[in-house]
């Protein structure tokens, strides 16, 4: 069923404008509600605990999105990145209005162009119910721990005992529902109709709700892994919030144990459920924080906990409104990450033929190129480009021994997408399902090409008897990849001979710089060990970004060998991004001590994190794991680094100099930084057409489109504040014992940057507000 989307563009704009206006009003109300002097004093005491709270809440959002992604039928038709955006936007509405009433239906609306309404409603309901039930059970466990391990008053003993009993009852009911077989709402309505003589069960709303209930129960009962994921995500989310409470209370000097932090979060969860009808939870959050902290004897930290959670909530609400998802105006604006691979029969053939061995190629398919065997550098991008099946020609004479075993192992691990044919009957059997009008892609020994080139090849048709070349770019008509009619591909020897002709012709291919500058696709021809060494340099150079400045390119010379060494490890690019965030936070903590040697070590670690910051993107590109989600994780990691470092440097400057004016300078720097981030996130969602990694290139082009003296100066000096360049300056100033100067420069530079963005906003958005990726 094709999902419908009937929302008028003017309605979407009105909702967006109304949400933004409501957010501004409530934000102003919150600022008026909180005493400014008290807030500033509390923030000073919190120090790094505040950005840590943002970090824990980011993990909380990721855990909830992960759980939600498992609530859709497989295969899922919407990407994780899209779900994360939708969830943040809907949670912003929930936070600013009535939680669970405005936000949950909004998720269904925002997914209306991708997911059937019943499926989306079932997924939303299942995730919300799983979270509520799981949280209630954890609340019960937390209550038992509080009763057993904390010196509670009689009143608080009765409160936590009631929590535990309620959780036990709900756990029993949940077990009954999961272990049951039928539905409950539909049966209840049928029973009511029979007693009251009504026909509620036949109503349109009742049928829709019953369909949602049936689908939700099927999802829950049909896959034990889904149940485990929902439980794990709920526990992870609960642990993140308990850690947040512990870190904040410890930062204020309040006596708190891990068990006490669990008790605080237990009471806060119950209060949150009870106060869902209060917009933005105003008043209820403060009261529940004070009461929970008082219950565990950590008096004095309640105000700080309430303020930190209020600021954290406003941060995510503002971010959610900033990235409010808009439906694509046309198919051309659809996100690549949200587009499923073309299916067989849509005019784009998905069959790839791979010939890993040839007599004129002296390099085996097991030879390592940039950390991966050559055969994997063919099969991985082919799978990512949507090819299935992939038929590998591997007779004993051409690819036996270790290479043959490797290929057969890869085929076994591919889930049926790869077939290894060891003789002509097996080859013909693998191609038998192809229709007479289909075209297949062929790639031979020693040829390595990019995912993008293979994806483009699928759209090319080949006539009967034709071996059609796939170009690597306008200046490179032959890449070594060919397209054949299915009937012509039935003879592996014919395909092999055509591929050998291209290798013998050896026409020029794009250089690494050509690829990184976007003039052509990666295409490598490897016939000898000398070619392999040259290909290593080309593929490394191709992983550069055309927006890299000189400092960034210098960093890549250091990071690429590290990235290639990490490719053969289980470490993923996203995991490395999280590790680098932790390293940045540790650097910030060292800066915050105000000591010379701690500052030097922090500067060195900050510089090391800057060099390693290129590794996650390089690993993603070299392992063919690029994704919009990975780009967003890296982006928020960079943003968290800036915030943490500025906070740490501010605290360290005050401790080193004794002048509290640095708090104001740090606040100005942090405010300018957050405004800049908000503008960059806004631009990233509006002008990159679902390719967030393209922001810098697009912004550079548009920023320079109508240059002024001011914009030229700002663009030339803006590289100083990049993640690649700024740590060098911080490290140098740490050696000179001048780290407080960074706070002054940050206060000036961050605000100049966002003002420049605002002045050029019309040019940055462009006439159409989006571009084709």
Q: Given 295, 327, 359, which residue is the final one in a domain?
A: 327
Host domain of residue 321: 9-327
Token look-up 């008043």 returns: 283
Beta bridge partners of 476: 473
Q: Is residue 399 part of a domain?
A: yes
Q: Is the pLDDT of residue 524 over 90?
A: yes
Q: What is the pTM of this model?
A: 0.55
Share the mean pLDDT of the chain.
Answer: 75
Q: Is the pLDDT of residue 744 over 90?
A: yes
Beta bridge partners of 353: 391, 442
Q: Is residue 4 part of a domain?
A: no
Q: Is 280 left (phi over 0), alpha (psi -120 to 50) or beta?
A: left
Q: Is the pLDDT of residue 476 over 90?
A: yes
In this prediction, residues 450-478 reach a mean pLDDT of 92
567 and 610 fall within a common domain: yes
List Cα–Cα distances, 491 to 22, 353, 428, 487, 497, in angstroms: 67, 11, 8, 8, 10
The total of other beta-carbon atoms located within 10 Å of residue 642's CB is 23
The pLDDT of residue 175 is 67
428 and 491 fall within a common domain: yes
Q: Is residue 698 part of a domain?
A: yes
Q: Is the pLDDT of residue 558 over 70?
A: yes
Contact between 241 and 262 (Cβ < 8 Å): no
594 and 483 fall within a common domain: no
In this prediction, residues 449-461 reach a mean pLDDT of 91
- CA gap 281, 94 in Å, rounded: 10
Of 456-470, 573-587, 597-611, give the lowest mean pLDDT range. 573-587
455 and 321 fall within a common domain: no
302 and 353 fall within a common domain: no
599 and 645 fall within a common domain: yes
Q: Is the pLDDT of residue 91 over 90?
A: no
- Give pLDDT tens digits for 38-56: 555 666 666 677 778 888 8
* pLDDT band, very low/low/confident/very high, at 12 (cuts 50, 70, 90): very low
- Give SS3 for 442: strand
In this prediction, residues 170-194 reach a mean pLDDT of 68
- CA gap 472, 479 in Å, rounded: 5
Q: Is residue 772 part of a domain?
A: no
The pLDDT of residue 743 is 92
- CA gap 386, 752 in Å, rounded: 45
**Which CATH number covers residue 356?**
3.90.550.10
Q: Is the pLDDT of residue 14 over 60?
A: no
489 and 609 fall within a common domain: no
Q: Is the pLDDT of residue 21 over 60?
A: no
Q: Is the pLDDT of residue 531 over 90?
A: yes
Q: Is the pLDDT of residue 738 over 70?
A: yes
Q: Is the pLDDT of residue 333 over 50?
A: no
The pLDDT of residue 504 is 92
Q: Given 327, 360, 390, which residue is the final one in a domain?
A: 327
* pLDDT band, very low/low/confident/very high, at 406 (cuts 50, 70, 90): low
Q: Given 270, 292, 327, which residue is the final one in a domain?
A: 327
The pLDDT of residue 602 is 92
Q: What's the 3-state SS for 312-328?
A: HHHHHHHHHHHCCCCCC
The pLDDT of residue 427 is 92
Nearest to 482 by CA among 434, 441, 525: 441
- Give SS3 for 480: coil
- Give pLDDT tens digits for 621-661: 888 877 666 666 677 777 778 888 888 899 899 989 989 88
760 and 669 fall within a common domain: yes
- CA gap 49, 683 in Å, rounded: 29
More confident residue, 167 or 491: 491
Q: Is the pLDDT of residue 240 over 60?
A: yes
236 and 307 fall within a common domain: yes
Task: Determine what percent of the chain is predicted with pLDDT higher than 90.
Answer: 17
Query: Number of C-alpha atoms within 13 angstroms, CB side, residue 229?
Result: 19
- Give pLDDT tens digits for 185-239: 667 767 777 777 676 666 666 666 666 566 556 655 556 677 778 778 888 888 8
69 and 208 fall within a common domain: yes
526 and 555 fall within a common domain: no
Domain count, the chain: 3
**Which CATH number covers residue 685?**
1.20.120.1760
More confident residue, 729 or 585: 729
Beta bridge partners of 441: 352, 483
Q: Is the pLDDT of residue 471 over 80?
A: yes
In this prediction, residues 716-735 reach a mean pLDDT of 83
Q: Is the pLDDT of residue 466 over 70?
A: yes
Q: Which helix (H) or strand (E) holds 391?
A: strand 390-393
* Burial track 561-573 (b if 16+ CB lie within 10 A, e otherwise): eebbebeeeeebb
Give every CB contact of residue 16 below 8 A, 6+ residues apart in sequence. 324, 326
651 and 560 fall within a common domain: yes
- CA gap 339, 342 in Å, rounded: 8
- The listed range with the strongest mean pLDDT (66-80, 343-357, 721-735) is 721-735
């Amino acid at each position: 069923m094709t999902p419908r989307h009937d929302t008028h563009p003017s309605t979407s704009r009105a909702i967006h404008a109304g949400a933004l206006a409501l957010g501004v009003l409530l934000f102003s109300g919150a600022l008026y509600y909180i005493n400014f002097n008290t807030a500033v004093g509390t923030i000073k005491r919190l120090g790094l605990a505040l950005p840590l709270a943002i970090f824990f809440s980011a993990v909380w959002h990721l855990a909830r999105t992960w759980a939600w992604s498992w609530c859709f039928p497989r295969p899922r038709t919407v990407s994780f990145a899209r779900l994360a955006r939708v969830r943040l936007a809907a949670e912003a509405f929930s936070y600013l209005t009535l939680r669970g009433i405005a936000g949950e239906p909004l998720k269904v609306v925002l997914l209306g162009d991708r997911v059937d309404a019943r499926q989306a409603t079932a997924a939303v309901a299942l995730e919300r119910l799983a979270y509520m039930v799981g949280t209630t059970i954890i609340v019960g466990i937390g209550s038992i721990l509080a009763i057993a391990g904390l010196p509670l008053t009689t009143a608080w003993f009765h409160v936590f005992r009631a929590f535990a009993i309620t959780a036990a009852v709900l756990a029993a009911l949940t077990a009954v529902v999961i272990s049951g077989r039928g539905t409950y709402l539909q049966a209840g309505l049928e029973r009511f109709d029979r007693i009251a003589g009504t026909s509620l069960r036949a109503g349109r709303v009742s049928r829709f709700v019953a369909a949602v209930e049936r689908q939700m129960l099927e999802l829950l009962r049909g896959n034990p892994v889904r149940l485990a994921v929902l439980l794990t995500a709920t526990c992870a989310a609960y642990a993140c919030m308990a850690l947040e409470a512990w870190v904040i209370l410890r930062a204020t000097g309040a006596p708190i144990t891990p068990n006490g932090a669990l008790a605080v979060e237990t009471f806060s969860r119950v209060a949150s459920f009870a106060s869902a009808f209060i917009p933005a939870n105003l008043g209820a959050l403060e009261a529940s924080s004070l009461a929970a902290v008082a219950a565990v004897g950590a008096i004095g930290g309640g105000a700080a906990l309430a303020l930190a959670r209020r600021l954290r909530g406003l941060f995510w609400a503002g971010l959610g409104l900033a990235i409010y998802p808009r439906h694509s105006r046309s198919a051309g604006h659809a996100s690549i990450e949200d587009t499923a691979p073309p299916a067989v029969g849509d005019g784009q053939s998905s069959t790839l033929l791979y010939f890993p061995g040839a007599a004129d190629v002296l390099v085996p398919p097991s030879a390592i190129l940039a950390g991966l065997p050559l055969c994997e550098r063919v099969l991985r991008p082919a799978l990512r480009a949507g090819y299935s099946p992939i038929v590998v020609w591997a007779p004993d004479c051409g690819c036996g021994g270790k290479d043959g075993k490797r290929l057969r192992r890869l085929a076994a691990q591919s889930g049926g997408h790869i077939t290894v044919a060891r003789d002509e009957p097996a080859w013909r059997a693998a191609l038998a399902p192809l229709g007479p009008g289909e075209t297949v892609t062929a790639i031979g020994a020693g040829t390595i090409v990019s995912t993008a080139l293979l994806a483009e090849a699928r759209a090319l048709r080949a006539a009967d008897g034709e071996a059609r070349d796939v170009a690597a770019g306008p200046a490179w008509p032959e890449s070594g990849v060919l397209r054949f009619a299915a009937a012509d591909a039935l003879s592996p020897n014919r395909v092999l001979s055509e591929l050998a002709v291209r290798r013998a012709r050896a026409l020029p291919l794009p250089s690494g710089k050509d690829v990184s500058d976007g003039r052509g696709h990666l295409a490598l021809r490897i016939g000898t060990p000398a070619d392999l060494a040259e290909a290593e340099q080309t593929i490394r150079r191709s992983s550069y970004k055309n927006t890299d400045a000189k400092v960034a390119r210098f960093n890549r010379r250091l990071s690429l060998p590290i990235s290639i060494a990490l490719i053969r490890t289980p470490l993923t690019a996203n995991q490395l991004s999280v590790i680098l965030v932790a390293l940045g936070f540790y650097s910030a903590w060292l800066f915050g001590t105000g000591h010379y040697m701690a500052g030097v070590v922090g500067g060195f670690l900050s510089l090391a994190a800057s060099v390693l910051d290129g590794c996650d993107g390089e690993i993603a590109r070299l392992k063919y794991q690029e994704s919009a989600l990975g780009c967003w994780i890296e982006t928020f990691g960079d943003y968290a680094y800036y915030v943490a470092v500025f906070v740490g440097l501010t605290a360290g400057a005050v401790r080193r100099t004794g002048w509290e004016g640095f708090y104001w300078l740090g606040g100005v720097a942090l405010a300018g930084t957050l405004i800049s981030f908000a503008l960059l996130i806004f631009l990233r969602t509006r002008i990159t057409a679902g390719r967030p990694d393209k922001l810098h290139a697009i912004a550079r082009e548009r920023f320079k489109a109508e240059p002024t003296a001011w914009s030229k100066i700002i663009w030339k000096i803006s590289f100083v504040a990049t993640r690649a360049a700024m740590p060098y300056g911080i490290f140098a100033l740490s050696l000179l014992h001048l780290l407080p100067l960074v706070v002054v420069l940050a206060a000036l530079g961050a605000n100049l940057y966002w003002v420049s963005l605002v002045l050029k906003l019309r040019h940055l958005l462009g006439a159409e507000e989006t571009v084709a990726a």
